């Protein structure tokens, strides 16, 4: 008896490993089948196809149709890839409960007959079934959270997101229905006084299921919130495109003047802006000191050097006659400078002597002024070529005002 | 009251305060006591605190609607209506250009460069942008795409619909004032009985009621 069982087990192990290996061996073809409708047969040999069909990895719905991926394999791949578009939520609780009941009866039979081998085996199968049930809920909840956290990012259109959300909510409803099928009073009666069974089917399962229940409720709440947001976004889009279409169709559309109504609608009532301005005030001693301090800390205003072009408008304002006279004066002074350069042995020349000796008719004061300003207007290097000596006297003993009577220009040698 | 000084100043200047434009200010405004304090302060200025229906933006309204306030509101309504179509068209253009399935909403990040690139690749988007940018509301004088986009974003920032967190970076965030604009559109539709569908909101309402 036990030898036969052993042989069966080793045969199962061998076939199982062989068939699992098929999945790896034909992984490329199977993945192509996953993304398409049918298996691309051209890349499979006849014997490989036979093996895959025998292992129920592939199946052929009828003679006419092509070969397809078995639903369980498709599910397995979707599960492994966390592919939310195809991941199924399946918690067939009713069938599992049937199975558990049967296993418990069988376990109790084995115990009453003292069949220890069978007892162990039944207990292991019970444990597997409970784990399975638990795992199915955990998987389903994981899949729901994934979809929720990605805002249903695996579909791009809002309408699709709304449909996916709807589908997820229906799945939750089914899962909750499944949970409701589990009646712990019945299970308590079923396990009776067996400590091992009680631990597995009552305390452990109850704890796990109540955890799932809380998770499902939370996901459900969040899904509904998200759905409300989706619908709101959808409504906004429709409203805006509707209004744009309407305004394009009716270019002269003018709504009523809501501001003239006896009850002005709240949304329209928006007060005019008001700026809270302030200016420096000098009526408080303490602040005066602060203001003075601030004033000192102001950055020095930078006077940029004025270019000739920039100064031009000021000149343009002068009458053209005055400008012409100014130009003539400047030219005459330049001639004076040239004559100084021509002086033998660099003799100093008095500006006023030059003026009076020439036919020029400039007033003395203006002449002197222009001679001095011409000197000051020279570039530094050119200034060094001349020596300008002013004949001056103090205007009065009470101040330092000095009067210039004449200037002498000399070539510096 | 002193701690609300900067917030008051913003409100008085006509700004819309939302979680994007002034997070801490907005948080203060969600407190009823603070709102009452501010309202009391605003009383002599003939202003009061107001918000849209969702309470997602706060702004100042006239307390007493005297003649000058009504004149001002009429002028403002006129401005709003003139800017309505270009603003809504811009919203649609952004949605289409960036391939989004929803309108720009508060908190969304917009990059002019990304927007330009999308419009550059698509003649129809390019033409729509051109028409929009040269509309008197946006007022672009340029025929260069980048300059047009820049002008459009600049105007939207000036009007408080966009916020530029770093002046040297060309990244903008949509503010809650967009909610106010949408509310305004809904209001006009309802007041004027315009034949515009908004889609069924009953579904979500019913679902929320279930909770």
Tell whether A276 lies on the interface with B, counting CB pairs under 8 A.
Answer: yes
Mean pLDDT computed over A71-95: 72
Instruction: Specify the 3-state DSSP secondary structure of B188.
Output: helix
Instruction: Assess whether B88 and B183 both reside in one domain.
Output: yes
| Residue B202 domain-assigned (yes or no) | no
A239 CB neighbours in chain B (<8 A) are 182, 185-186, 189, 196, 198
Structural domain that includes position B36: 2-62
Per-residue model confidence as pLDDT tens digits over A26-72: 888 888 888 877 888 888 888 888 888 888 888 887 777 788 888 88
CATH number for the domain spanning B167: value is: 1.10.10
Lowest-confidence segment of A150-159, B150-159, B195-204 by average pLDDT? B195-204
Instruction: Assess whether B164 and B98 both reside in one domain.
Output: yes
Average pLDDT over chain B, rounded to whole? 87
Instruction: Assess whether B40 and B134 both reside in one domain.
Output: no
How long, in residues, is chain B?
211
Instruction: Assess whether B40 and B136 both reside in one domain.
Output: no
Q: How high is the ipTM of this complex?
A: 0.86
Tell whether A173 lies on the interface with B, counting CB pairs under 8 A.
Answer: no
Domains contained in chain B, number:
2
Instruction: Assess whether B105 and B182 both reside in one domain.
Output: yes
Q: How confident is the model at residue B107 (pLDDT cuts 50, 70, 90)?
A: very high
* Sheet (strand B162-163) strand order: B109-110, B172-174, B162-163
Write down the pLDDT at residue B165. 92
Instruction: Assess whether B95 and B55 both reside in one domain.
Output: no
Q: From the candidates A231, A245, A259, A261, which should be mutated to test the interface with B, based on the most B CB atoms within 10 A?
A: A259
Instruction: Assess whether B85 and B179 both reside in one domain.
Output: yes
| Token duo for residue B131 | 């028409």
Chains A & B: contacts with CB separation below 8 Å: 153
Mean pLDDT computed over A285-299: 82
Answer yes or no: do B198 and A224 touch at CB < 8 A.
no
pLDDT at B174 over 90: yes
Answer yes or no: do A234 and B199 touch at CB < 8 A.
yes
Residue with tokens 């795992």: A135
Percent of chain A with pLDDT over 90: 6
B182 CB neighbours in chain A (<8 A) are 236, 239-240
Instruction: Assess whether B45 and B129 both reside in one domain.
Output: no
pLDDT at B202 over 70: no
Write down the pLDDT at residue A262. 84
pLDDT at A153 over 50: yes
Mean pLDDT computed over B50-75: 91
Write down the pLDDT at residue A309. 56
Instruction: Assess whether B99 and B185 both reside in one domain.
Output: yes
B113 min Cα distance to partner chain A (Å): 23
Instruction: Assess whether B90 and B185 both reside in one domain.
Output: yes
| Residue B155 domain-assigned (yes or no) | yes
Instruction: Assess whether B48 and B144 both reside in one domain.
Output: no
Average pLDDT over chain A, rounded to whole? 83
B91 CB neighbours in chain A (<8 A) are 240
The residue with greater pLDDT, A314 or A173, is: A173
| Residue B201 domain-assigned (yes or no) | no
Per-residue model confidence as pLDDT tens digits over A275-286: 877 887 777 777
pTM of the model: 0.59
Write down the pLDDT at residue A310. 52
Write down the pLDDT at residue A86. 61
Write down the pLDDT at residue B205. 40
pLDDT at B103 over 70: yes
CA atoms within 13 A on the CB side of B59: 24
B8 CB neighbours in chain A (<8 A) are 276
Cα–Cα distance, B175 to B190 (Å, whole number): 24
pLDDT at B2 over 80: no
Instruction: Assess whether B38 and B103 both reside in one domain.
Output: no
| Residue B207 domain-assigned (yes or no) | no
Answer yes or no: do A239 and B189 touch at CB < 8 A.
yes
């Amino acid at each position: 008896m036990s030898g036969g069982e052993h042989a069966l087990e080793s045969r199962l192990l061998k076939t199982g490993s062989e068939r699992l290996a098929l999945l790896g061996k034909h992984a490329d073809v199977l993945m192509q089948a996953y993304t398409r409708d049918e298996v691309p047969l051209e890349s499979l040999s006849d014997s490989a196809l036979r093996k895959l069909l025998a292992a129920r990895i592939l199946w052929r719905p009828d003679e006419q149709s092509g070969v397809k991926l078995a639903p369980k394999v498709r599910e397995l791949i979707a599960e492994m890839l966390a592919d939310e578009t195809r991941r199924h939520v399946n918690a067939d609780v009713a069938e599992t409960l049937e199975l558990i009941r049967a296993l418990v009866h069988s376990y109790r039979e084995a115990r009453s007959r003292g069949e220890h081998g069978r007892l162990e085996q039944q207990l292991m199968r019970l444990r597997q079934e409970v784990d399975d049930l638990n795992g199915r809920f955990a998987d389903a909840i994981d899949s729901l959270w994934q979809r929720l956290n990605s805002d249903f990012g695996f579909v791009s259109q809002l309408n699709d997101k709304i449909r996916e959300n709807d589908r997820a909510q229906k799945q939750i409803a089914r899962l909750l229905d499944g949970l409701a099928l589990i009646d712990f009073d019945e299970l308590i009666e079923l396990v009776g006084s067996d400590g091992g069974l009680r631990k597995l089917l009552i305390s452990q399962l109850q704890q796990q299921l109540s955890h799932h229940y809380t998770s499902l409720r939370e996901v459900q709440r969040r899904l509904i919130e998200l759905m409300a947001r989706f619908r709101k976004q959808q409504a906004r889009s429709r409203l805006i495109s509707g209004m744009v279409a309407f305004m394009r169709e009716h270019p002269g559309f003018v709504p009523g003047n809501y501001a003239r109504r006896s009850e002005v609608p709240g949304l329209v009532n928006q007060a005019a802006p008001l700026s809270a301005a302030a200016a420096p005030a000098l009526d408080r001693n303490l602040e005066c000191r602060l203001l003075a301090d601030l004033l000192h800390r102001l950055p020095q205003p930078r006077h940029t050097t004025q270019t000739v072009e920039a100064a031009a408008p000021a000149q343009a304002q002068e009458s053209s006659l005055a400008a012409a006279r100014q130009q003539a004066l400047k030219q005459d002074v330049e001639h004076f400078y040239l004559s100084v350069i021509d002086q033998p042995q660099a003799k100093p020349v008095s500006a006023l002597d030059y003026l009076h000796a020439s036919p020029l008719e400039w007033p003395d004061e203006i002449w002197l002024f222009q001679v001095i300003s011409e000197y000051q207007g020279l570039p530094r290097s050119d200034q060094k070529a001349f020596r300008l000596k002013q004949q001056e006297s103090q205007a009065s003993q009470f101040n330092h005002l000095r009067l210039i009577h004449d200037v002498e220009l000399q070539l510096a040698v | 009251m002193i701690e609300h000084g900067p917030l008051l100043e913003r409100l008085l200047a006509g700004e819309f305060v939302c979680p994007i434009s002034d997070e801490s200010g907005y948080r203060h405004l969600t407190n009823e006591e603070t709102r009452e304090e501010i309202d009391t302060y605003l009383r002599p200025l003939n202003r009061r605190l107001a918000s849209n229906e969702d309470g997602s933006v706060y702004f100042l309204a006239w307390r007493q609607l005297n003649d000058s306030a009504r004149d001002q509101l009429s002028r403002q309504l006129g401005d709003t209506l003139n800017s309505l179509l270009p603003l809504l068209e811009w919203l649609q253009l952004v949605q289409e250009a960036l391939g989004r399935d929803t309108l720009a909403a508060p908190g969304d990040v917009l990059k002019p460069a990304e927007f330009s690139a999308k419009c550059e690749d698509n003649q129809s988007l390019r033409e729509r942008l051109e028409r929009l940018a040269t509309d008197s509301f946006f007022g672009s004088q340029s025929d260069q795409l980048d300059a047009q986009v820049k002008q459009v974003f600049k105007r939207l920032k000036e009007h408080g619909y966009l916020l530029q967190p770093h002046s040297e970076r060309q990244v903008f965030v949509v503010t809650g004032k967009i909610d106010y604009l949408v509310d305004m559109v809904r209001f006009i539709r309802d007041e004027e009985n315009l034949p515009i569908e908004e889609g069924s909101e009953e579904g979500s309402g019913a679902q929320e009621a279930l909770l």
